[in-house]
Amino acid sequence: MEASSPTIFIVSGPGGVGKGTIVKSLVRRDPSIWLSRSWTTRAQRPGESPDAYVFATRSAFERRIAEGGFLEWTQFLGNYYGTPVPDLTSSELSGRDVVLEIEVDGARQVKALHPGAVLIFVLPPSREEQERRLRGRGDPDDKVEQRVRKAEEEEPIGRALADHIVVNDELDRTVDEMLDIIAAHRARTAASQ
Ligand code: ADP
Ligand code: 5GP
């Protein structure tokens, strides 16, 4: 029997809500989740892992767009971000589901291409708490302001596209809720095969 194709779980939400922290915890707790690594043209943040992204030049990014190497890509606050087309034949992906941590325009593109993709939209407990998290991460004032303004644009779009909305209040509770959502989708997929 052919292995079933993976479910794509998209984790999206405003900057500073905790998406990166959540997906790191998801892959630690569930080995059958494969986390896609995006490309970006933005500079690495102080203290950010060099593995957080493939940090690329604009020309390298544009070359990859021209080659059809992205599942989706967008421009966000002046930089390119994109998801490389996953290699579904790789052994790394075998028997695992895919998690993409991306913004709402990319989420819309992935859902159009893969209607079975599941969008989990993460919200902060409040705008003030989102700002606190951005500052706590070391984002400078102008970046905090940009990201909060962008969040106000993104939120209604994300809510409309979302299959699930999760408030990231307490990290462990949020991750438990996301693992429950993923388990419920897997059970439904298994029952329909
Ligand atoms: P995003 O990827 O959405 O931009 P990050 O994962 O970088 O957000 O998180 C922003 C900051 O908020 C980080 O300093 C992170 O440690 C912190 N954080 C994440 N989740 C929580 C939470 N539930 N409670 C408090 N702080 C959190
Ligand atoms: P940051 O600069 O904070 O790491 O990311 C900015 C935004 O880009 C976040 O909302 C993040 O989820 C999103 N993002 C990260 N990788 C990708 C990607 O590959 N595609 C898209 N569309 N958005 C991404």
Number of residues that make up the chain: 193
Q: Is the CB of 81 under 6 A from ligand 2?
A: yes
Which tokens sit at 123? 């919200």
Measure 101 CA to ligand 2 centroid, in angstroms. Answer: 7
Q: How far apart are CA 79 and CA 117, in angstroms?
A: 25
Q: What is the pLDDT of residue 46?
A: 87
- CB–CB of 21/13 below 8 Å? no
User: For ligand 1, atom 10, which residue shows the shortest CA distance?
Assistant: 16
Site to probe by mutation for ligand 1, drawn from 10, 12, 19, 21 as the one with most ligand atoms within 8 Å of Cβ, is 21
Nearest to 154 by CA among 76, 100, 60: 76
Q: What Å distances lie between residue 78 and 55, 75, 113, 141, CA to CA?
A: 15, 6, 25, 17
Amino acid sitting at position 22 = I
Buried b (16+ CB within 10 A) or exposed e, 47-80: eeeeeebeebeeeebeebeeeeebbbbbebeeeb
Burial class of residue 168 in the structure, from the number of CB atoms within 10 Å of its CB (0-12 exposed, 13-18 middle, 19+ buried): buried
DSSP letter, residue 121 = E
Which tokens sit at 186? 């897997």
User: For ligand 1, atom 13, which residue shows the shortest CA distance?
Assistant: 137
Beta bridge partners of 164: 120
Measure 16 CA to ligand 1 centroid, in angstroms. Answer: 6
Q: What is the pLDDT of residue 1?
A: 35
Which helix (H) or strand (E) covers residue 135, if one does? helix 127-136
pLDDT tens, the chain, 193 aa long: 345 689 999 999 999 999 999 999 999 999 999 999 999 999 998 888 999 999 999 999 999 999 999 999 999 999 999 999 998 888 999 999 999 999 999 999 999 999 999 999 999 999 999 999 999 988 999 999 999 999 999 999 999 999 999 999 999 999 999 999 999 999 998 888 7
Residues with Cβ within 8 Å of residue 141, at least 6 apart in sequence: none
Amino acid sitting at position 6 = P
Beta bridge partners of 98: 8, 34
User: For ligand 2, atom 24, which residue shows the shortest CA distance?
Assistant: 102
Q: What is the pLDDT of residue 3?
A: 53
Q: What is the pLDDT of residue 192?
A: 85
Q: How far apart are CA 130 and CA 41, in angstroms?
A: 24
